[in-house]
Amino acid sequence: MTPMDIGFLTIAVLVSGVLFAAGAVANRFYHDRIFADITPGLVPPPGVQGNVVKVQPGREYSGEVAVAFSPPRGMTPGLIGTIVDGKAEMRDITATIVDLAVRGWLKIEAIQAEAEAKDPKKKARDWKITLSATAPADQLTPFETRLLESIRSMRGAAAGAGVLMSDWTRQRGDDLRGLQQSLYAETVAAGWYEKSPAPRSSFGCLSILGYLAVAAYLLAMFANGVTVWSIVSAVVIISSIVFFKKKFSARVPRTAVGTAVQIQALGFKKYLATAEAEQFSFEEAAGIFSRYLPYALVFGVAAHWAKVFGEVAKASSEIGGEDLFDGLMWMDVGFDMAWTMSMFGDGGFDGLFDIEGMVGGLGDVAEGLGGFVEGIGDFISDIDFDF
């Protein structure tokens, strides 16, 4: 070890010591709040001011979560996706579009992508959104209204020609950023956060100066030669920076009400992620699947959710039930509009998807139900960008 190696290693150890100590202290800040002395996930009765404390030991609640068989009352998929992880993402916006389709505000149709036309083994990666001519009776949140207005502003949307989702995300980047801010604003209005939880830098220009200093240190060290000790010094200082940045992120903590809603949402996620086909009759399966699919998308458990209800449909056909049980069998034997409408006509899938385009060619019911989920999941991955 040369004197230069000793010098650079000493600097790395001293700097990392300061950063690790500062990060450990920072871990005491930005903790969510929670109601004490009551079951996690509950809120005190109206008029009763609960005892609010900091979440311990981590910044977020990490204790046991009771299974919830429905989403928190009045909570849309986009809002739930935001409160669960504190971030408004493209996944939350896409799930909201699916939810609006379930509720009758629009129709989603799979479009054969150019890649699929050349290679049938490749699934469609694009989707056409067509707004409904008649608005349903249910109420829209400000975020949902803004989303529909953005789609309606696209050429051809008002005339009923439909809008490609890829075109919308490409041409309406400012709208997407505005939608993200709308989600954050609604979480604040609901009392889940005291201010917007949108990610922000903790130190601003100081961060840039710090990175420049580290870059200068590394350049000077490696200009002196690459040795085992110089590599060790680089690893020590970089790892301490990563630790410090993670611990000192200026996250906005949830209020006690926000933590309660998050716990309720996680309970619902637990239900969707652990549901088994034996729990459902076919009569209820159709409505439940469509109603809860958007939530499964934001939780990342849509593949399991689709598989469960594919098994319900398949089991129903095997035991030979009423004609209603055959309603999902278009996934095996072809598309039957009459059966599909009779099964989903009461607000389920009525007018929701171009079923044949999404699941045509799949030979298994579970795969059929999962076709749409997989396609939407791939699409989200393709366009999930940093706002």
- Is there a domain that residue 273 lies in? yes
- Is there a domain that residue 157 lies in? yes
- Is there a domain that residue 214 lies in? no
* CA nearest to 147, candidates 172, 116, 120, 117: 172
Highest mean pLDDT among 41-50, 151-160, 185-194, 215-224: 185-194
pLDDT at 125: 62
More confidently predicted of 281 and 234:
234
Separation between Cα atoms, residue 68 and residue 84, nearest integer Å: 15
* CA nearest to 111, candidates 356, 350, 306, 310: 356
- Is there a domain that residue 59 lies in? no
pLDDT digits (tens, 9 = 90+) for 8-67: 889 888 988 888 887 777 667 789 999 998 999 999 998 888 899 999 888 899 999 999
Q: Tell me how far the alpha carbon of residue 102 is from its chain's centroid.
A: 18
- Is there a domain that residue 200 lies in? no
Residue with tokens 């086909």: 277
Exposed, middle or buried: residue 331 (CB in 10 Å: 0-12, 13-18, 19+)? buried
E strand or H helix that includes residue 16: helix 3-26
Q: Give the mean pLDDT of 294-313.
A: 83
Separation between Cα atoms, residue 36 and residue 43, nearest integer Å: 10
Domain limits for position 344:
77-195+254-383
Percent of the chain with pLDDT over 90: 26
Separation between Cα atoms, residue 254 and residue 43, nearest integer Å: 14
Residue with tokens 């002196």: 224
Q: Which of 39-43, 237-241, 308-312 has the lowest mean pLDDT?
A: 308-312
| Structural domain total, the chain | 1
Q: Which of 48-57, 191-200, 300-309, 334-343 has the lowest mean pLDDT?
A: 334-343
pLDDT at 18: 85
- Is there a domain that residue 150 lies in? yes
- Is there a domain that residue 17 lies in? no
- Is there a domain that residue 83 lies in? yes
Separation between Cα atoms, residue 316 and residue 305, nearest integer Å: 17
Please tell me what DSSP assigns to residue 353.
Answer: B
